[in-house]
Amino acid sequence: MNQKKIITSKKAQLMAVAVIAASIVVASMISGINNSQNIQKVMAEEFYPSGTTTSTETTSEYKTLSADSINSKGAIIKAVNPDQTTNKEFWINTVHFDGLTNINAAVKCDTCPQNPPIHPAEQPPVNSTIPTGGGFKITEPNKVGAWDFRSFTFSPSQLVVNQGDKVTLHFVGVQGAHHVVTVDGIGTFELKRGQINTVSFVANNPGIINYVCHVHLPNMSGQILVLPKVNL
């Protein structure tokens, strides 16, 4: 008799445990559904702020988008039509890059070009391999040991236009006291700091049109790539 009571008691305990476990699972599922709905709501509000659209409009708008219109993060990608104008205008600046350094390590100079304090000590090259022409310059160390390696260039140094485009180039003297610039087939002109020299032409033939500064060769040069006209 006692054994039957014990067995019955154990069965009751097992059933109670099973009921509790089932309750936990159901609660987790409900919580998961609520969390999923909350996440969807947050994402909808991120892409469509409150007041801009309804849930029905949001669903229909997503249906009209192609697969390529939404990236992996859910951001909407919009198609943009390229500019079809045949008038192309560019501003080309004369600039230089400077590699500032010092023969001493961690020396600071407030009144002269100087390397960062943590920069290691560097000596100017004894036998320089840089090409001649003025495009590259090495300055000797100054009173605190600071020296510089400079490289002149155009910015931008490569342009792309289409055959038949009217091209306008504004050359702007920003860095460098004096330049002598040639544009293939157009002509040669001087350009000083603070000046702007403008040239225009029609790119009749496909190919490459070069522009160079004769004072800072060989690296201060640029190219205009003229793409051939496509007959549709």
Task: Give the architecture (CATH level 2) of 87-227.
Answer: Sandwich (2.60)
Whether residue 216 is predicted with pLDDT greater than 60 in this model: the reply is yes
Contact 145, 212 (CB under 8 A): no
Q: Output the CA angle 138-125-155, nearest 5 degrees.
A: 40
Q: What is the 3-state secondary structure (H, E, C) of 22-58?
A: HHHHHHHHHHHHHHHHHHHHHHHHHHCCCCCCCHHHH
Stretch (H or E) spanning 59: helix 55-64
Q: Which residue matches tokens 């229909």?
A: 60
Contacts of 17 (CB under 8 A, 6+ apart): none
pLDDT value at residue 14: 54
Q: Kindly indicate the confidence band of residue 109, based on its pLDDT and cuts at 50, 70 and 90.
A: low
pLDDT value at residue 46: 44
Domain ranges, ordered by start, for the chain: 2-69, 87-227
Q: What are the helix and strand counts (H, E) for the chain? A: 2, 10
Q: Kindly indicate the confidence band of residue 101, based on its pLDDT and cuts at 50, 70 and 90.
A: confident
Q: Which of 208, 209, 223, 228 is nearest to 162 (CA)?
A: 228
Contact 86, 165 (CB under 8 A): yes
Overall average pLDDT of the 56-63 stretch? 44
Q: Kindly indicate the confidence band of residue 112, based on its pLDDT and cuts at 50, 70 and 90.
A: low
Over residues 166-200, the pLDDT tens digits come to: 999 999 999 999 999 999 999 999 999 999 999 99
Out of 71-80, 110-119, 149-158, 179-188, which region has the weakest mean confidence (pLDDT)?
Answer: 110-119
